[in-house]
Structure 1
Amino acid sequence: MTEGPRGAVGYFVHHQGRGHAERAAAIANRLIDCRPVTLFCARSDIFPALDPRIERIAIPSLFEAEGTAPPRLDAMPTPDTLHCAPVGWPTITRAVAAITAWFDDAAPALFVTDVSAELGQLARIASVPHVAVLQHGDRADPGHMASYAAAAGLLAPYHADLEQPERPRWMQAKTHYAAGVGVDMTALPTREAARARLSLSQDADIVLVLAGGGGTGTPTAPLTLGARDDAGAQWFTIGTIASEWHETPPGNLRHMGWVDNPQDWIAAADRIVSSCGNTTVQMVCAAGKPWIVVPEWRYFDEQLCKADALARAGVAAVAPHWPAHAGRWRALWDEARAIVPERQRAMVHDDAAERAARWLDHLATDLWAGAGVGRRDRQASEGQVTE
């Protein structure tokens, strides 16, 4: 792999939710001006608009079985150095084959994983330098730490003030913080313009419940308690929700379903309730609103750790679980109203994607500086050069 400093960058994108694809697209659309970019993902419908120069390679899902593995293979324990590594899944075999075949053909300068600790380790084994995208969570296990230690760099899609204090210094030393990457809030409308677009009253006190796309849906039973106690406000939900038979929905709670313009709804709201997926965090911080966060279950306690970071930074009122009575809602709103909007907005940088792309390009260039000096080049390995 001695093609020089302008070699391609490969980019694996996890297909759960939309945050991985949104930030990958934002970075790739800028990095493509510097060097070729190839995206690997099991889905194509989750990406926003991509520069036509960006190559996309569809791979099977690494996380969903195709058929059933033989019982003895299915029962094999997973070593501590791996997380999702079942045995006997042809989909994983084909995905890995597609990636390693590209490694051999493209001779890439860098491979980015967003996110897979296993693929980070695969790149290192294949002698390809990689960058691991960081997520919040309790990730001090051997699998994550092996991928982080083997990485040439770490990319954190959040502000440095939201870093987990327990992360070791050697990790932070090679981390680039891309605060707000993947969310373009520069064209966020005013509150008045957003309400006009949505045909909402300019005088109403509006609470927006923002449900993400990475889970099974926001439970609405707790929302009925909050809305019923907040009779002077109009509550709206957007996104996926999950209702229960025992609810008594009040008239001031309306479910709008999945929408294509969440920025308008966020701009129109006076107060916001949400979980803390990466995209949600960045959109709400960019808007600067009284904000209640209720973390959802995620692997490795990702949202619990992120909620702790938001609380430490003073940008959200955090509840460890959904409020179960009206008094708890009132206490959280008191805390949320004390948040300084300018502190929230400081968590997002408008040029985060451009900065991240430049960092990746410079990292790839620096890593391969002097490539080929005192070494066999790729032609020799293919038998095109003799002793």
Structure 2
Amino acid sequence: MTAHFDLRNVRSAPIGYFVHHQGRGHAERCAALVQALPQSRPVTIFCARDDIFPALPPNARVERIPSLFEPTGEEHHADWVATPETLHCAPLGWPGIRTAMGRIAGWFAEADPALMICDVSAEVAQLARICSVPHVKVLQHGLRDDPGHRAAYDGAAGLLVPCDARLAQPDWTPAMRAKSCFAGGLGVTMAQPDRETARARLGVPKDARLIVVQSGGGGSGFASAPIAVGARAVPDATWITIGTVARDWHATEPANLRHDGWVENAADYLAAADLVVASTGNTTCHQILAAGRPWLAVPEWRYFDEQVEKARALDAAGVATWRPHMPSSAQAWRHALDIATATHDPVRQGSMLRPDAARHAATWIESLCARLREGTPHAVTIHGD
């Protein structure tokens, strides 16, 4: 059964959006989704940083709140009181957390929002539910079958999943999948530079073999020692790292390895590469899938093994070859790179991304808002665009 009605009268209700400020993926997919929403829909974004967002439309504003996990020195710790299993990051005696949650709860009372999107915090999702505000929980990979995550997922009106459905984890239940919107490519630009132009920009010869090592922005990056072992194991290739690299004092780095650090033109490096060694953060994954390059996926440490489970899913879907850590010898490096090259399927990689991911997610959000306002559990056909 499908409900039909005009949405113009419900599109003025605001949407709230909590954005975690670790890494870049949360802010990038927020900006993409907000850009695709109707301009008549006000959006208030709650985040501990206001400088990590791409361009936002006039109907969106960022309200900066204290971090939910970074101490200020004003805390009165009471860690001897046990944290219940339904919560993850809820230390006692933190005034910053009280301020942040109080601001969000106050906005709930004043704005009467249509929806709260949580990307990501199980506590903020549960706060919305306690305050009688429907929420959409962003569903990420990882071992998240604990009571806290399950409460946030079970109580959500919908789950927004920033990946293709073929990358779903086996433990995502039928109930979770039934209320999920899969949006592979959300927040990532699909347009890619051509290989020759990219190499010219980077100063890499046309006929050189190029291996790019990329780490994300949400942690301390890869260690330099194993990368140096890899570069020595494949001396006929140029190796370039981008992103954060933790420099090991004992790393004996060869001349074919260079570190370019944090760059704004990662797409050039991926387009120029013959093979990519990279972690499995959201933005990194989508960038590599868009570039369609052979990929050795090596997860960085994240809470709940997020990158480990993402790497497993990528491997199972046939779009990357994964290893639990960097290869530790020359032989292991050559073996891993050979497998990544032999199993490469650029067509399958590209199929993981929707060019209309933002519009797809925005239409789903609008339909959900209408269902919640009208009190119908059924799908909605949207009129009044």
- Give the equivalent residue in structure 2 for 1:51: 57
SS in 2 for 1:213: coil
Would the aligned equivalents of 1:117 and 1:143 in 2 still touch at CA under 8 Å? yes
Same amino acid, percent of matched pairs: 54
| Pair 1:334 & 2:338 matched | yes
- Residue from 60, 70, 73 that aligns with 1:64: 70
Note if 1:82 corresponds to 2:70: no
Greater than 6 Å deviation, 4+ residue runs: none
Tell me, yes or no, if the aligned pair for 1:59 and 1:94 is still in contact at 8 Å. Answer: yes
1:201 aligns with 2:176: no
Counterpart in 2 of 1:285? 289
Contact 1:293 1:318 in 2 (8 A): yes
Query: What CA deviation, in whole Å up to 9, does each residue of 1:284-335 have, x standing for no partner?
Result: 0111111101111111111111111011001111111111001111111121
Separation of aligned partners in 2, 1:236 and 1:95: 41
Counterpart in the other structure of 2:228: 224
Q: Distance in 2 between matches of 1:370 and 1:113?
A: 22
Partner amino acid for 1:351?
Answer: D
- Find the counterpart in structure 2 of residue 8 from structure 1: 14
What's the TM-score once normalised by structure 1's chain length?
0.92
Between 1:26-35 and 1:247-256, the stretch displaced more is 26-35
CA–CA separation in structure 1 for the residues paired with 2:172 and 2:220: 30
Partner SS state of residue 76, structure 1: coil
Asked if residue 362 in structure 1 is aligned to residue 367 in structure 2, the reply is yes
CA-CA distance at 1:197 after TM superposition? 2.1
Match of 2:137 in 1: 132
Task: Report the Cα distance in structure 2 between the residues aligned to 1:328 and 1:42, rounded to whole angstroms.
Answer: 42
Partner of 1:26: 32
Q: Give secondary structure in 2 for the equivalent of 1:15.
A: coil
C-alpha separation between the residues in 1 aligned to 2:372 and 2:346?
40
Deviation at 1:68, TM superposition (A): 4.8
Residues 292 and 319 of structure 1 are in contact (CA less than 8 Å); yes or no, is this contact kept in structure 2? yes
- Offset from partner CA, 1:48-106 (integer Å, 9 cap, x none): 111133111110001111225335x2321100000000111010111011111111111
The secondary structure found in structure 2 opposite 1:273 is strand
Q: Which residue of 2 aligns with 1:314?
A: 318
Structure 2 regions of 5+ residues with no counterpart? 1-8, 377-385
Aligned to 2:250: 246
- Work out whether residues 75 and 95 of structure 2, in 8 Å CA contact, stay in contact via their aligned partners in 1: no
Counterpart residue identity of residue 198, structure 1: L
Give the letter for the 2:198 counterpart. Answer: A
Does the CA-based 8 Å contact 1:155-1:177 persist in structure 2?
yes
| 1:190-226 residue CA offsets vs partner (Å, 9 max, x unmatched) | 1011112222211111110011111112111111111
Q: Which residue of 2 aligns with 1:17?
A: 23
The 8 Å contact of residues 32 and 54 in structure 1, kept in 2 or not, is answered as no
Structure 2 distance, partners of 1:70, 1:44, is 27
Please tell me whether the aligned partners of residues 5 and 369 of structure 1 are also in contact (alpha carbons under 8 angstroms): no
TM-score by length of 2: 0.93
Could you tell me how far apart the structure 1 residues matched to 2:113 and 2:294 are?
Answer: 45
Q: Equivalent residue of 1:357, what SS? A: helix
How many pairs align? 367
In structure 1, the residue matched to 2:182 is 177
The amino acid of 2:348's aligned partner reads R
Which of these residues, 204, 213, 216, is aligned with residue 212 of structure 1? 216
Q: What is the one-letter code of the residue matched to 1:106?
A: A
Q: What value does the CA root-mean-square deviation take over the aligned residues?
A: 1.3
Q: Deviations over 1:254-298 (max 9, x none)?
A: 000111111111111111001100110101011111110111111
Q: CA deviation at 1:5?
A: 4.9
- Measure how far apart 1:34 and its partner are: 4.8
CA 1:161/1:230 → structure 2, altered by over 3 Å: closer, same or farther? same
Determine which of 99, 103, 113 is the counterpart of 2:104.
99
